[in-house]
Amino acid sequence: METVPGPAEVAGGVWSVALPFPNPLGFAFSYVLPVAGGVLVVDAGWDSAECWDAFRAGLAAAGAGLDDVVGVVVTHIHPDHYGLAERIRAASPAWIAVHPAERPRIAANRHDRERAIADLAEWLRQAGAPPSEFAELAADEEDIKARISTVVPERDLVDGQAVPGTDGALVAVHTPGHTPGHLCFHDRQRGLLFTGDHILPRVTPNISKRPQSDVDPLRDFMASVRKVRAFGDVTVLPGHERAFTGLWDRLDVLAAHHDERLTEIVAAVGAGAGTVWEVACAVRWSRPFERLQGRARRSAIGETFSHLYRLAVEGRVRWEPGRPDRWLPAREHVA
């Protein structure tokens, strides 16, 4: 676990507030920006008493209080970026804004959560996961689903739209891939890019094909990587880890990482790995696949699936949908 840094001014009046959450990344950043009439919050941490205290301490460090929060803009609705949105809205005049493509995944009620877990079980069957894996994976997912906020945002932000109240200085940039409605935010005056989980300085974001993801999330992610090249000369303020410069170098590393993984997966299929599960077992991860647990293991399955799907679209492997899906080398030798 990383140590959680205290609130810090990262650029002309903009403060980062690290909010801890139970994940090897250690914390997620909220950012507090001065705007006309108060402050704007970019991302809203994990929902816990500890985070709520840390968030309020961060606001105070930035010279603001809850009454000053005019709006909360969210890069995506994962619980480490959206968790406190409800508490903030209840305690302040703030509105909440997301990209409309995030809305279907806001778990509106218990029925939706149950369906989401059923979809996950079907997805595991499609991936060829052994029956012994289902209980652990589903139990962990249930816990995560319970943490997904049910708070319905009052505003939408689409690509190229200025964030209300910023006089056009902060612009939403749609960067699907990690999630369908992921947004970055470009601060034109300060030369900042808030990247959420789209671009992190060290970790490669998880690009999973799974229930409720995009049809072809890896294609979308790579297009979103190319898209943010337009902001080369910015300071990147990511959702985790630390601020950094040198965006283009990082984008090159991410593109190369996925190219290598695609090549590795073609080789695994060529060597006989025939299901998502078998391919995931054959691919190199940060730790061996057998040692990945719970959410990390599901992420690896989703990541493998997103690459296999892309390879099938490109004609580099063949996909035979079923239970489980079968993945075969591209070239068919007809006798």
Nearest residue (CB) to Zn ion, 166 versus 179: 179
CA distance 284 to 328: 20
Taking the least distance from each CB to Zn ion, the nearer of 67 and 143 is 143
CB 149 within 8 A of CB 83: yes
Nearest approach, Cβ of 235 to Zn ion (angstroms)?
19
CB 262 within 8 A of CB 307: yes
Stretch that binds Zn ion, among 61-69, 177-185, 195-203, 242-250 (CB under 5 A): 195-203
* Nearest-approach distance from CB 205 to Zn ion, in angstroms: 8
Q: How far is CA 157 from CA 83, 163, 185, 291, in A?
A: 19, 7, 10, 40
Task: Identify which of residues 58 and 128 has a Cβ nearer to Zn ion in the complex.
Answer: 58
Angstrom distance (rounded) from CA 180 to CA 220:
8
- Taking the complex as a whole, the smallest distance from the CB of residue 88 to Zn ion amounts, in Å, to 17
CA proximity to 113, closest of 143, 152, 78, 90 = 143
Q: What is the DSSP letter of 67?
A: G
Whichever of 80 and 325 has its CB closer to Zn ion, that residue is 80
Q: Closest CB to Zn ion among 45 and 128?
A: 45
Q: What are phi and psi of 195, to 5 degrees?
A: -110, 0
Residue 106 Cβ, how far from Zn ion at the closest point, in Å?
16
What's the closest the beta carbon of residue 246 comes to Zn ion, in angstroms? 21
For residues 15 and 82, which CB has a smaller minimum distance to Zn ion in the complex? 82
Q: Token pair for residue 168? A: 């056009």
CB 33, CB 39: distance < 8 Å: yes
Considering the complex, state which of residue 197 and residue 216 has its C-beta at the smaller distance from Zn ion. 197
Residue 184 vs residues 30, 73, 82, 228, 250: alpha-carbon distances, Å: 13, 10, 14, 9, 16
Amino acid in the structure at residue 319: W
> What are residue 41's DSSP bridge partners?
32, 72
CB of 92 to Zn ion, least distance (A): 23
d(CA 125, CA 323): 6
Whose Cβ is closer to Zn ion: residue 83's or residue 239's?
239
Interacting residues of 253 by C-beta distance below 8 A, sequence separation 6+:
none
Question: Least distance in Å: CB of 129 to Zn ion?
Answer: 24
Q: Whose Cβ is closer to Zn ion: residue 153's or residue 239's?
A: 239
x-or-dash pattern for Zn ion, window 63-102, by CB under 5 A? -----------------x----------------------
Segment 126-145, which members bind Zn ion (CB under 5 A)?
none
CA 209, CA 307: separation in Å to the nearest integer?
A: 8
Contact between 197 and Zn ion by CB under 5 A: the answer reads yes
Residue 184 to residue 238: CA distance in whole angstroms: 9
- Which residues, numbered 232-261, are part of the site for Zn ion (CB under 5 A)? 239
Instruction: Count other Cβ atoms within 10 Å, centred on residue 286.
Output: 11
Give me the least distance between CB of 78 and Zn ion, in Å please: 5
Give the shortest CB-38-to-Zn ion separation in angstroms: 26
With contacts defined by CB under 5 A, how many residues of the chain interact with Zn ion? 3
Structure-block tokens of residue 300: 């690896």
- Which residues make up the interface to Zn ion (CB under 5 A)? 80, 197, 239
